[in-house]
Chain A
Amino acid sequence: MMAWIAFSLIALVILNSALCVVRSTDLVHTVFWLALTLLGTAALFVHLDAEFLAAVQVLLYTGGVITLMLFGIMLTRRIEGVRVLHESGNHRRALASAVAVFGAIVTAIYRDKQTAHAVATDLPGTEELGQLFLQEMVLPFELLSLLLLAAMVGAIALARKVDP
């Protein structure tokens, strides 16, 4: 019962702020609602026994991505006047597509018999996760750091002012 209450509260926060993300008319508000969604997801990760991932989520997403997005807004918005977000014309079609995709996913969830009978199992802790990363998955792990380096160099090369 307690688990259901916690889950419902977290789900309420996540869905509510996600709706605000797609409906808000101010870009800065949109980004702050996204921050709340990501924090709610971190809480859900704790609820799912993934404490390390929750910490990574707060550090990388809520810390890094939100700051980056705010920088993006500051760099691309004219300071004078409040800019209202423009919506594209195909409002109804967007809604219909989203509902259709949701229906398809729900059908897939309920068609699979294993899903309903899955039982929560206790997971080994963060120590085991570290072992997994540095033994079995060491190559993807190192490739990931290379990718982050490449992304950083690429972003600087793209966004710097070109010398005449």
Chain B
Amino acid sequence: MTEVFAQPPGLTAYLLLAAMLFSIGLYGVLSRKNTLAILVSIELMANAVNINLVAFSRFSGDLTGQAFALFSIALTVAEVVIGIAIIVLMYRSHKSIDADATTALRG
């Protein structure tokens, strides 16, 4: 056990942290009813993926992982912009942002 802590944290430690963060986000997505809270939980999951990409980049000595993380961050921002626009629209037509308030695709 002491051997593990004698050297700096390995790739496994970062991957485990990201896996925990991803699972917490998944729990949030599945257990929330409010669409904004679901969007926040999706952010958590995307964040876990970014941690993985950066950790792989660090442990392979290749910058491509960091470049992918940057693309992923920008994509997530675009996703949030569209998501909040849709939520505002949903509030305007249904007066509620609960996920089960909208049951029809049309109308």
Q: B54 to A15, Cβ gap below 8 A?
A: no
**A152 part of interface (Cβ distance < 8 Å):** yes
Task: Assess the B82–A155 pair: CB atoms within 8 A.
Answer: yes
The number of residues on chain B lying at the interface, defined by a beta carbon within 8 Å of a beta carbon of chain A, is 72
Please, which residues of chain B bring their CB within 8 A of the CB of A123?
57-58, 61, 63, 66
Q: Which residues of A contact B58 (CB under 8 A)?
A: 48-50, 120-121, 123
Residues of B within 8 A of A38 (CB): 43, 47
Do A88 and B66 form a contact, CB below 8 Å, given A76-B36, A118-B60, A147-B78?
A: no
1/0 contact trace for A106-135 toward B, CB 8 Å?
100110000110111111100011001100
Q: Is the CB of B84 within 8 A of A72?
A: yes
- Across the interface, A76 reaches (CB within 8 A) one of B17, B55, B78, B88, namely B88
Interface centre among A116, A151, A154 (most CB of B within 10 A): A151
Q: List 10 A-B contacts (CB under 8 A).
A: A56-B73, A57-B50, A69-B36, A72-B87, A88-B32, A88-B99, A90-B31, A94-B27, A109-B12, A121-B61
